[in-house]
Amino acid sequence: MTWKNRDARNRSTIISIEHYRAARERLIRSRATHLDQLTDKLTEKRVHSVIEVLLSGETGQLQMHQDDLQYVEDLGLIKRKPHIQISNRIYREIIPRELIAVTQDTMQIKNTSWYLATDNRLDMVKLLQSFQQFFREHSACWVERFDYKEAGPQLLMQAFLQRIINGGGRIYREYALGRKRTDLSIEWPVNPQQGFHGEVQRIIVELKIQHGSLETIIQKGLYQTAEYADKFNAQEAHLVIFNRNSNVTWQDKIWHKQHKFSGRLIGVWGM
């Protein structure tokens, strides 16, 4: 927090959570040697079988073996108590970022300024509408490029968002075994000059894969999204539901609704 930040070395400066977050982001982007070596492990079969389940949150579709769990725990990638999860917040960021790095860099999408409103806030409706069209046109080929195909839709959206948000904001990820969802929280500084020390736009995007009744998924997802948005103190929240049934037409898969839940307006998106 201080070695790479001259201002923070001043003893009169109060070290804040913002100093920590900025330092964490610098560390992730620096690709420090031990972090770079960590990403090589993601291609190993035993590591793949565990991390893919965590990224997708799907306990029913994929199986993990005891020996694989022990191996990945010994590597320091996961911890198993109180439940199986990525071992720390930095690894939680690095793992999906590494898996989407090539995809993110080669995406042909509009630059960040196209998704900004006149008050310099992210226009999430415009952004998610753009992703719907991108997903419709490219998901078949892009998802197949991922080694972690079960988590393909979530990873593709994270690559899309990371490409745009890297223009000035930050994304945080929450995922764990059995959650059956990935929670993304976005922070976007409204005033570029003040950065994250000024007003910050906070947005929640929850990702789910559709299994069973759509209405049941929406009702459960609205509760989870509202709960996470309250925890994050977000001004805006969206629930994205991926339908991977190849027998369903794109016309039926792509839709957008708004639901009021717990006093909060939540955008619900079909993909």
Give pLDDT tens digits along the chain (271 positions).
Answer: 888 888 888 889 888 888 888 888 887 777 665 666 777 788 888 998 888 888 876 655 556 788 999 999 999 899 888 888 888 888 888 888 888 877 777 787 888 999 999 999 999 999 999 999 999 988 887 777 677 777 888 888 998 998 899 878 989 888 766 566 788 999 999 998 888 889 999 999 999 989 889 999 999 999 999 999 999 999 999 999 999 898 999 999 999 999 999 999 999 999 9
Residue 77 within any structural domain of the chain = yes
How confident is the model at residue 35, as a pLDDT?
Answer: 62
* Residue 186 placed within a domain: yes
Residue 16 lies in a domain: no
Q: What is the pLDDT of residue 244?
A: 87
Quick check: pTM over 0.85?
no
Q: Is residue 24 part of a domain?
A: no
SS3 86: strand
Q: Specify if 10 maps to a domain.
A: no
Domain limits for position 118: 31-270
Distances (CA, A) of 26 to 1, 19, 94, 110: 9, 11, 12, 25
Partner residues linked to 188 by β-bridges: 201
Domain membership of residue 1 (yes or no) is: no
* pLDDT at residue 151, rounded to an integer: 81
**Distance (Å, whole) CA 163 – CA 11:** 36
Q: What share of the chain is helix, strand, coil (3-state, %, to 5)?
A: 50, 20, 30
Number of domains the chain is built from = 1
Tell me, what DSSP letter sits at residue 42? G
Residue 14 domain-assigned (yes or no): no
Whether 192 maps to a domain, the answer reads: yes
